[in-house]
Structure 1
Amino acid sequence: MVSKNRTVTIKDVAEEAGVSKSTVSQYLNNRYEYMGLETRERIAEAVDELGYQPNIVARSLKQKTSTTIGVIVANISHEFSTQIVRSIEEYCNESNFHIIVCNAEDDPEKEKKYIEMLRAKQVDGIIVFPTSMNISLYQSLNLEDYPMVFIDRYVPDVKTSSIMLDNKKASHLAVREFVERGYKKIGIVTNSTENNVTPRIERIEGFIEAARVNGLIVKNDFIKGVEIEAIQAELEKMLFRPDPPEALLAGNDLTLFEILKFVKEHKMEIPKDLAVIGIDDVSFASIYDPELTTIGQPTSEMGKKAAELLLKRIKGDEVAFQDIYRFEPFIKRRSSC
């Protein structure tokens, strides 16, 4: 019987199960190739009976891996971010890896501190929603051959794979939906484009392309990329002008929240007074009144791909380099346009 006052060791488990320490070690590392079912069951019972907890720090030092990765999101407020993180966590859990999630809040300095902190903790690699402003730091990680994958954004000067939506196609889907429903005066509102955040830039570019393809007049006053705090004022200017847009594309979920808030405060009706489509399939889209038409992203597949690429790099598996992996958007038609 092991005393409750001391830590249970692999030796204790081995003695309880009647096997060698090396057999217990193989079991704990999921190496079952030459281990009978009865032996595995005895070890499992011993682990459970003794309450054995592996020493993760000691194991990481011995194996030269922490079996941990860092995930730095640009802004955890986005539903897209939380959905991606969930997918990454599921894939890593199945691969016996842990994740540490950090929220940079679109702040390059905060992102830099998190990268340095994660390196100090010796995580095996990182998945980053990059702010795009720490190029020299990203490049230094590349020079060290440190495993890193970008998601949602692309940084041209950094040779690292990026997992991204086909953002231009997302805007095309929305504009086509507006046009098919008879709207001609269409606008787009998104977060600030000042720091060249890829999805915001690409969605505006896609909007302009789609408007021209569909024979619409592109009005600069109907295209806004501003800080979240300024969206209400921009909407007031845009929607209370003599010739306002009939329909708006929200560039992401946070922008959609601002549009819905504006509509409520000014007692407007969707789609009677303003048709709306949002990029990002928000969780409340199907219960809002009216139900919101959205352009969705395959977040499960995107998160899984990011985790898969990173873990392959960590394990030294050969992966042919590809700078951007594009994923297809899809439309969920509801009642807001």
Structure 2
Amino acid sequence: MGRDEKTSKHATIAMVAEKAGVSTTTVSRYLNEKYEYMSLKTRKKIKHVIEELNYRPSNIARGLKSKKTNLIGVVVADIENPFSSMMMKGVNDVCKTRHYHMLILNTDNSQKSENDGIRSLIDHNVDALLINPTGYTSPIYTKLKESRLPIVLIDRQIEHFLFDSVTSNNYDVTYQATNYLIQNNYSRIYFVTENIDSISTRSQRKKAVEDALRAKHLPQEHILLTIDRANTLAIKEQLIKLKRTNQNEKMALFAVNGQVLLLLLQLLYQLRWSIPAEIGIYGYDDWGWGELIRPGITVIQQDPYGMGTKAAELLIDRLEGKRTGRPELFELPANLLIRGSTE
């Protein structure tokens, strides 16, 4: 029998113990990084045998014994959004560094999918949950709080403050951006979004735009332009109507997120409207192309990767008992990048 036949497919903890000349208990303690009363010589010997046999311990079996699986359940509201991809990379990088694995579930902004997904991840014995919530109020969050399972919310929040949350300073930076446009003599600003529903980031950004307009005694009624991204013809009709209504006003569009911003830019190009001569535009997010599109697009630049790393660190610290106490809200600062689209 060749060496390869004695590798990970057949190697067992008993084989490692026998070849290293120690007990299976000692090997188990080594695998779980419990090195108390274990000499450096023994540790090196076990490490050498594990590598020689190409032994890979079963995380499932270890989890059954220790009640710990080293699995982090991650619930994402909209994995199609590039913002979510960057956020998940941050989570994954921390998980790898701290020896955890991710189970990712996408809900497509559906409350039912969110509830079902959370239950499914719990059935898979995850050690903790990191949730990018749909925002809907659900009894499941109260039950999760009672279960004492470590949980951190990322980007969006829920109605009741039950868990550590990591997000951007949505209200402050949106207010700052809108105030800049007002100072630049924009008198009509429209908030363009998909259905707000209970999504906290969208409602916070809308309130910031309204408050900035109100502070300067500008119209804040009827500023909401709710769109269906799949129906571009209807959006074009909405934009044409706005332009007719505001012929004597300096008008701008605020895009609630990067997907809406990109869609609006595509439609304005198709309508052959000049930016900013005929219409101004600004919004979230900065995915690298904002400075490439003439005359440059004014954007609010968030840090999704940083949000992911921060949320993962908080979650694992809770899981490992390094973080206790009441939940906290962490708002990572976003940056306003002013470019030609709002001149």
Compute the TM-score of the two structures, normalised by the length of structure 2: 0.87
Note the 1:223-262 alignment, pairs <5 A.
Answer: 223-229=224-230, 231-243=235-247, 245-262=250-267
Unmatched runs of 5 consecutive residues or more in structure 2: none
State how far apart, in whole Å, the 1-side matches of 2:186 and 2:102 are.
45
Q: From 263, 272, 278, give the equivalent of 1:267.
A: 272
State how far apart, in whole Å, the 2-side matches of 1:335 and 1:242 are.
21
Tell me what 1:281 maps to.
Answer: 286
> How far did residue 252 of structure 1 move?
0.7
Tell me what 1:220 maps to.
Answer: 221
Q: Which stretch shows the higher mean deviation, 59-68 or 163-172?
A: 163-172
> How far did residue 92 of structure 1 move?
1.3
Partner SS, residue 159 of structure 2:
coil
Unmatched runs of 5 consecutive residues or more in structure 1: none
Say whether residues 1:154 and 2:157 are aligned partners: yes
Say whether residues 1:291 and 2:296 are aligned partners: yes
State how far apart, in whole Å, the 1-side matches of 2:4 and 2:68 are.
31
Shift in CA distance, 63/227, structure 1 to aligned 2, threshold 3 Å:
same
Q: From 204, 208, 214, give the equivalent of 2:206.
A: 204
State how far apart, in whole Å, the 2-side matches of 1:237 and 1:335 are.
24
Letter in 2 for 1:313: R
Partner SS, residue 220 of structure 1:
coil
State how far apart, in whole Å, the 2-side matches of 1:204 and 1:39 are.
62
Shift in CA distance, 217/288, structure 1 to aligned 2, threshold 3 Å:
same
* Contact residue 222 and residue 238 of structure 1 kept, 8 A: no
State how far apart, in whole Å, the 2-side matches of 1:39 and 1:239 are.
77
State how far apart, in whole Å, the 2-side matches of 1:26 and 1:197 are.
46
Tell me what 2:54 maps to.
Answer: 51
State how far apart, in whole Å, the 2-side matches of 1:71 and 1:235 are.
38
Say whether residues 1:122 and 2:125 are aligned partners: yes
Tell me what 1:319 maps to.
Answer: 324
> How far did residue 36 of structure 1 move?
6.0
Partner SS, residue 281 of structure 1:
coil
The superposition leaves residues 34-54 of structure 1 with CA deviations (integer Å, 9 ceiling, x where unpaired) of: 666665554444333322111
Q: Which stretch shows the higher mean deviation, 113-122 or 230-239?
A: 230-239
Number of residue pairs matched?
335
Over aligned residues, Cα RMSD in angstroms? 2.6
Q: From 89, 93, 97, give the equivalent of 2:96.
A: 93
Letter in 2 for 1:267: R
Letter in 2 for 1:94: T
> How far did residue 267 of structure 1 move?
1.5
Compute the TM-score of the two structures, normalised by the length of structure 1: 0.88
State how far apart, in whole Å, the 1-side matches of 2:246 and 2:337 are.
32
State how far apart, in whole Å, the 1-side matches of 2:44 and 2:274 are.
63
* Contact residue 76 and residue 105 of structure 2 kept, 8 A: yes
Shift in CA distance, 236/70, structure 1 to aligned 2, threshold 3 Å:
farther
State how far apart, in whole Å, the 2-side matches of 1:261 and 1:190 are.
15
* Contact residue 170 and residue 279 of structure 1 kept, 8 A: no
Shift in CA distance, 159/219, structure 1 to aligned 2, threshold 3 Å:
closer
